Each structure stands twice: as structure tokens, then as C-alpha cells.
Amino acid sequence: MIYFSDVIEDKSKLISDFSFLPEYECSPLDEDFTSAMKFSTDVEPVSMRDHLAGKLMLRLDKFLLDNDDLNELYYDEVSQAAGHKIGGYPTFTQEDPRNDKPLNSMDKILLFQLDADDHIMFGDSGVCNFFIAPVDLKSLDFSRILYNWDCC
């Protein structure tokens, strides 16, 4: 992760030479593709693939008899958190990587999600997520980011 503290309004001053970054054999981006991203504020419920969904289902199950029907209804009716986003609830092609990490990783929240679209592809279809602890985000410390990408 590279954090730039100043917003650069003059596009001629933007960094365009990224040769300082390590090279990779493959890239999820179309060659020579660049695009601005526009974000807007929105509200979304916890996605079924987020590690918090299981905890939510357990709490709701206390009031309902059939957990399988509840899971199916929630999965069918609730957003699966797809798309590019800053914050919010992540989506995964496989499963939430925070499930297999030490407990302190469970405290990490979604910082940024880059999803497959017409120009970006991870495998057949996938997504990458960047997670950060709220305390690190508040102090602008991006040194302990949890990065995950998965595809089908």
C-alpha cells in the first residue's frame, strides 16, 4: 500500500512512473488500462461471506426455529457486497481470510476492495481486499495491511 497524504488537483503533477514498484509476471489489469474511480456514500448490510455473518445468524437464530431457511433468505435478499469500494463489507469468491488468521486479524475492517469488472480480472472472476485495524487507519499506519485476493 502506498498512502499519499496530499490530494493533487493538478493532473500534470500526478505520479506516472511506477518503475520503483516490483514487477509481477501477470497483472489483473488490461494492459495500459487506467481509470478514475468514483465513490459515493451508501449503506449495506453484512454480506453472507463476511466473517460477521455467522455471528449475526447465531444471534438471529435465538428468535427463529429454522436456521437453514434464515440463511437462504438472507443470502437471497441481501447484497453480496460486490463491486469496488472503500470500507463497507467485503465479498469473496472463496471465503473470508480473517477466519483462518489469528484473533487480532479478525479485528481488521475492509479498507479497499477491487472487484472484477470489464477491465479487471482475477482468474476466472475474483476480487482483492485490503484490510486494516481501525487503530491503524486512524493513525494512517498502513504497514500492517492484510491483503487477500481470490478467484474461482
**pTM, to two decimals:** 0.71
Per residue in 90-147, pLDDT (tens digit) is 988 888 888 766 555 568 899 999 988 877 777 778 899 999 999 999 999 998 899 8
Q: How far is it, in rounded angstroms, from Cα 33 to Cα 120? A: 9
Neighbours of 72 (CB within 10 A): 12
- Fold adopted by 46-151: Hypothetical protein YwqG fold (2.30.320)
Per residue in 50-71, pLDDT (tens digit) is 777 766 666 665 555 556 676 6
